[in-house]
Chain A
Amino acid sequence: GQQVMQIPQYQHVQEGEDFTTYCNSSTTLSNIQWYKQRPGGHPVFLIQLVKSGEVKKQKRLTFQFGEAKKNSSLHITATQTTDVGTYFCAGQGDTGRRALTFGSGTRLQVQP
């Protein structure tokens, strides 16, 4: 079955430093989504990428979808303490199955 891995598992940064998490799928994806889950909270949808090579920005966050549609990345510029949480990528396979498989997640801790 489809597997989605993320690295790193955990990252601790000083406020103001940049942060990147990488997501890799074992199979080609029709689209990939990114979610943020604050400690004690629930996943919140951030963005969806559909096209090969797509790049989208949301303020300090930059999302990329790989050319082969099997990998993706999320880059945060100049982290803030409000960025603390776990970031999950979630992919839909290209078989038409309408369900997301979540990546293993990257937990971000930001030191003020």
Chain B
Amino acid sequence: DTEVTQTPKHLVMGMTNKKSLKCEQHMGHRAMYWYKQKAKKPPELMFVYSYEKLSINESVPSRFSPECPNSSLLNLHLHALQPEDSALYLCASSLDRGPMRGYTFGSGTRLTVV
């Protein structure tokens, strides 16, 4: 299995809702990432997990809460989002030993906050 699976593919949520994005990989990768991508912009790093521990938080607002329940799963819990949080949320994974390797990205969750 050489894929990263993200669900849901599309999500519309109100500013008072609570929702979660899910990401799963079975490649044995121990580094997992959340990126946010706005239209016609590059992916922006949000969080990095290494061996199920949060290693990087790029000063992301607390309305985004990541969770890594095990080595294959990564969640992003959303609460009280703003319309400007609408974007494509990308999960990625990579090997986490030795030199950095290429990322495998999921197909993303396209989030619209209304």
Q: Residues on A close to B: CB < 8 A?
A: 30-31, 33, 35, 41-45, 47-48, 50, 88, 92, 97-105, 107
8 closest cross-chain pairs (CB), A and B: A45-B102, A102-B42, A42-B105, A43-B105, A92-B100, A42-B107, A102-B43, A99-B48
B61 at the interface (CB under 8 A from A): no
Q: Tell me, rounded to whole Å, the shortest Cβ–Cβ distance linking B101 to chain A.
A: 7
A97 vs B107: C-alpha distance when bound (angstroms) = 25
Whether A98 lies near B103 (C-beta < 8 A) is no
Known A33-B103, A45-B102, A98-B48; 6 more pairs at CB < 8 Å:
A33-B102, A43-B90, A43-B103, A99-B45, A101-B45, A102-B43
Residues of A contacting B: mostly = strand
Residues of B within 8 A of A100 (CB): 45, 100, 103
**B102 — nearest CB in chain A belongs to which residue?**
A45
Residues of A within 8 A of B96 (CB): 98
CB-CB contacts below 8 Å: B47-88 with A: 48, 50, 55-56
Whether B42 lies near A42 (C-beta < 8 A) is no
Q: Tell me, rounded to whole Å, the shortest Cβ–Cβ distance linking B53 to chain A.
A: 12
